[in-house]
A and B are shown apart, each in its own frame.
Chain A
């Protein structure tokens, strides 16, 4: 069974740039959720994708957007990067739509914005 994989593992951007982070869900899972974890904090929910549509969103501005593909993999896009966007971005996969079952997380993508 393949776990959740994320890429890239680390990246550095400058303010105003755009970034795309990628996630492959665990085998058999059709739902992907994205979380932002600032240093020393718990993860914060960004949004969830199910059947290629956004299915729930946290308190994040529209410059955070995403996609889910037919193979259930997903992308997180962040435009107009700000210094506060520096964080560990975690992807989690699960099975099911509107109900949260057990979530399985990837190792994360560490974004540094200079």
Chain B
């Protein structure tokens, strides 16, 4: 059974700080890993997707890395802003078997950026 764990569960930082969110997974046959943002009571917004053959992806102030050997991914947010406050979720998909279309999610990191 694949498991995804996110640390920390909650994080509060002042505006302008650079921060790192951590995601670990047990799946040894990962196909891709996706980071999402979720605002309270809303759906998920895709931030970055890293294929298993890649090591990192960047979009604006966001950078996500993937280390399959250690079962870890990190999401780096540069120069954080109050508008970055949200829950950040990572999710992995398995490369085969009967897990077609299934993403396994972590429980998320609740980020608060205060002015």
Query: CB within 8 Å of B: which residues of A?
Result: 4, 6, 31, 33, 35, 40-45, 48, 50, 55-56, 58, 88, 90, 92, 94, 97-108, 110
Contact = CB atoms under 8 A, between A and B. Distances in A.
23 contacts: A4-B43, A40-B107, A41-B107, A42-B106, A43-B91, A43-B103, A44-B105, A45-B103, A45-B104, A48-B100, A55-B101, A56-B98, A56-B101, A90-B43, A94-B101, A99-B100, A100-B100, A100-B102, A103-B103, A105-B43, A107-B42, A107-B43, A110-B41
Contacts of A101: 32
A91 B56 CA distance: 27
A102 B34 contact: yes
Interface of B: 4, 31-32, 34, 36, 41-46, 49, 89, 91, 93, 98-108
Name, among A33, A43, A48, the residue most crowded by chain B CB atoms within 10 Å (CB to CB): A43
B100 A42 contact: no
A98 B31 CA distance: 12
A45 B45 contact: no
Nearest to B98: A56
A64 B31 CA distance: 27
A105 B103 contact: no
Secondary structure of the B contact surface, majority rule: strand
Contacts of A43: 44, 89, 91, 103, 105
Given A40-B107, A45-B101, A103-B103, 13 more contacts: A35-B103, A41-B107, A42-B105, A43-B44, A48-B102, A58-B102, A99-B31, A100-B32, A100-B93, A102-B46, A105-B45, A108-B42, A108-B43
Contacts of A48: 100-102
B59 to A, nearest CB: 12
